[in-house]
Amino acid sequence: MELSEIIINILSILIGYFIGSILPAYFFGRLKGIDIRKEGTCNAGTLNVYHTLGVVYAIPTAIFDTLKGLFVVLLTQSIGADYIFAQISGLVAIVGHILPFYIGFRGGQGVACATGIMLFYLVQYILIGPEIFYFLCFLLIIVAIFAYITKTGEIIGIIVLPLLAYSVFIYYPDVPHNIFFCLILAYIISIGIYNIVVFKKIIIEDDTFKSHWWRVALRPFAIFFIVFYICYSKMVALIIIGCVCLVFIFLDIIRFIHKGTNELLTVRIKSLFKKHESKKFSSMTIFLVAVFITILLFEIEIAFAALTFLIFGDIFSKIFGLSFGRHKIFKKTVEGTLAYIGCALICGYIIYTVLEIPLILLILGGITAALTEVLSLRINDNFSVPIISGAVMTAIKFFTL
């Protein structure tokens, strides 16, 4: 690399930082006699400007912050910067927004700047091929579902942006700016998680959930039963899940026979078994039995999909139903059911890219799982969801494919 190229590349980094450090939110605040970083959410960004100064100042703030990262990338490319350094300059623009040198290195969060660069990359992908455009149409359905449920941009972002990052590697594995695109997405997601935690945008008051949250946390590990199926054989998977299942059945039977043990595990140790499970098999046991039957009855692709819908759909349904449930439907909530459907669409898309299953089949299977969950009034949905969903997908595949 020649000296002139090195100088241009270094200059591109400096350009990125200085342009990124220009904060209209701060300057507009000073015009009104305030430090925007000490007002409202204490963030020198568009939303805080809107709530503190009004829409007249918020619009130019949003436009400038969104476009400055894109402008930096295009400018540095035009002056001859190396491709990688031009992309890095865009990332440095975000750093400049966060750490402006002239106000004590305390600026905004840089999400608008990152979003502008993200949109620029999306346009580049669309120019390469239409696949990402079709995927974005699909993604809009998921965005609409969770926008209705939560009305919170950060939550929507941490749900859909990982899927967007996954999709570009599926459709455009050799595109050089994939890594930069994913770094941008990772940053936006990290800020979203930070805001969700700090501003407590997900709050669950349900005492049962608080006592038994670990059950929800352990659910995803059930996917290893399918891994055993894939890596070894159906028989190995059935033996392993069967042994685990027998342990839980035995524990339940001991509870039924010995009153003291039952009281200990359901009353004194409240976090182990739910109180209403004192005289019946626990949902953990029923879940394991359902996993065993699903693996036994269905071919591997169908079993994988049905159990994935059960595991992750149930998690989404619980968290979003308890946090944002506003409208009751039977013993569930509309919001929880929609979250189940949204999760099923996400899982269905990922399974579609990995296994040879038509997407429409997975979508119908996922919707069936969500409807089964909400309609299973007397049958434990841990049992009914994978079996009915698997049966529906098997029937559709048999009659149409």
Tell me the per-residue pLDDT of 115-130, one tens digit each, with 9 for 90 and over: 999 999 999 999 998 9
SS3 content of the chain, % helix, strand, coil (to 5): 80, 0, 20
Residue 180: pLDDT over 80: yes
Q: Which two tokens stand for residue 38?
A: 């000490």
Is position 115 within any domain?
Answer: no
Same domain, 221 and 164: no
Same domain, 178 and 326: no
Is position 75 within any domain?
Answer: yes
| Confidence band for 377, pLDDT divided at 50, 70 and 90 | low
User: How confident is the model over 71-88, as a mean pLDDT?
Assistant: 95
* Tens-digit pLDDT profile for residues 194-230: 999 998 999 998 877 877 787 788 888 888 888 888 8
* Tens-digit pLDDT profile for residues 43-63: 898 999 999 999 999 999 999
Give strand ranges (E) for 8-160: none
Number of compact structural domains in the chain: 3
Same domain, 217 and 70: no
Residue 271: pLDDT over 80: no
SS (H, E, C) 197-258: HHCCCCCCCCHHHHHCHHHHHHHHHHHHHHHHHHHCCHHHHHHHHHHHHHHHHHHHHHHHHC
Contact residues for 5 (Cβ-Cβ < 8 A; gap 6+): 80, 82
Task: Provide the domain limits for residue 152.
Answer: 129-202
Q: Which two tokens stand for residue 69?
A: 């990262």
Same domain, 66 and 192: no
Helix (H, G, I), strand (E, B) or coil at 332: strand
Looking at 109, 140, 157, which one is the last position of a domain?
109
Same domain, 146 and 229: no
Same domain, 47 and 64: yes
Looking at 153, 177, 202, which one is the last position of a domain?
202
Same domain, 377 and 249: yes
117, 76 contact by CB (below 8 A): no
Is the Cα dihedral 192, 29, 116, 176 positive or negative?
A: negative
Looking at 109, 140, 165, which one is the last position of a domain?
109
